[in-house]
Amino acid sequence: MEKHPDDRLNSDADPFKGDPNFMASLARGLDVIQAFTPQRRMMSISQISQKTGIPRAAVRRCLYTLGKLGFVYAQDGKNFELRPRILALGHAYLASTPLARAAQPVLKHLSEMLNESCSIATLDGDDILYIARASSSRIMTIDLDIGSRLPAWATSMGRVLLSHLPEENLNDLLGRVTMIRYTSQTVDSVSALREELKKVQQQGYALNDQELEMGLRSIAVPLSNTRGQVLAALNVGVHAGQVSADELLSRVLPELQKAAQELSLLLD
């Protein structure tokens, strides 16, 4: 097979440039997959190139390869979309990870009992990443799906997870964090966030009262394995107009803690 010029990394910003073991074409293929979003579910080569910063010729080869493997398709030959086979990639993780497998029935039970939406997330870089979720039957549910992410510092699950980070890692993260004032309630300084994280660690839960979005409250607790290592966080999200912060503490928190304890026994 001929070497294509696109196999070379040509972005100066690329941190892996010049690393001979790094497979640029694999990284680019994965970037192309992740370029698709609900707002952009069909994209042309030039749109993907623009979004990812990958040259058009390289995007074309990625799509050609992903197409041959059944991961993307363009009905009109021009506008590409993801095909369901993409789910096989996430399935490899869901099926092989005890936490994700064990979580689903526990979450479902908790969600039905409380009639609220429950989620589990882990830390992935500076974000939280949703790995399991059970939504309530109410029509207005909070729409966050498995595999989606949010900045850790701004969320109840993220703060639980940050509060258990080794100090050095936490300092690194707080050093590079960009704090956005999502609402008038959002914690707005690193020092206030540090105080909040200390409180979260002491009390064993994080309460987010409309800091990410007005009308949205959530409460989260850590999920540990049998050796006490915090692997993930479990939360319940509610509509602020329906459930007060006091009710979250008195009614929801005890159930959340019970579910976390139950799940912990399944994780080693």
List the interface residues with its own copies, window 142-181 (CB under 8 A). Answer: 145-149
- Count the residues of the shown chain that bind its own copies, applying the rule CB under 8 A: 76
**b (16+ CB within 10 A) / e for 88-106:** eeeeeebeeeebbebbeeb
Nearest of 145, 156, 133 to residue 213 by alpha carbon: 156
Site for its own copies in 63-92 (CB under 8 A): 64-66, 68-71, 81-92
DSSP-assigned states of every residue in 221-256: EEEE-TTS-EEEEEEEEEETTTS-HHHIIIIIHHHH
What mask, x for binding its own copies by CB under 8 A, covers residues 122 to 141? Answer: x-xx---xxx---x-x----
Q: What's the min distance (Å) between Cβ of 11 and its own copies?
A: 12
Nearest 5 degrees, angle CA 73-CA 78-CA 81?
Answer: 35
Site for its own copies in 27-56 (CB under 8 A): 27-30, 33-38, 40-41
Applying CB under 8 A, among 25, 79, 201, 257 the residue interacting with its own copies is 25
User: To the nearest whole angstrom, how small is the minimum distance from the Cβ of residue 20 to its own copies?
Assistant: 5
Q: Are 124 and 149 in contact (CB under 8 A)?
A: yes
Rg of the chain on CA atoms, in Å: 21
The amino acid occupying position 71 is: F
If the CB atoms of residues 104 and 244 are measured against its own copies, the closer one turns out to be: 104
Question: Which residues does residue 218 pair with via DSSP β-bridges, in sequence order?
Answer: 208, 237
Q: How far is the CB of 140 from its own copies (least distance, A)?
A: 11
Q: Which is nearer to its own copies, 94 or 249 (CB)?
A: 94
115 binds its own copies (CB under 8 A): no
C-beta of 53 vs 90, nearer to its own copies: 90
Please give the DSSP secondary-structure letter assigned to residue 146: T
CB of 256 to its own copies, least distance (A): 19
Part in contact with its own copies (CB under 8 A); list of ranges 107-115, 180-188, 235-243, 246-254: 107-115
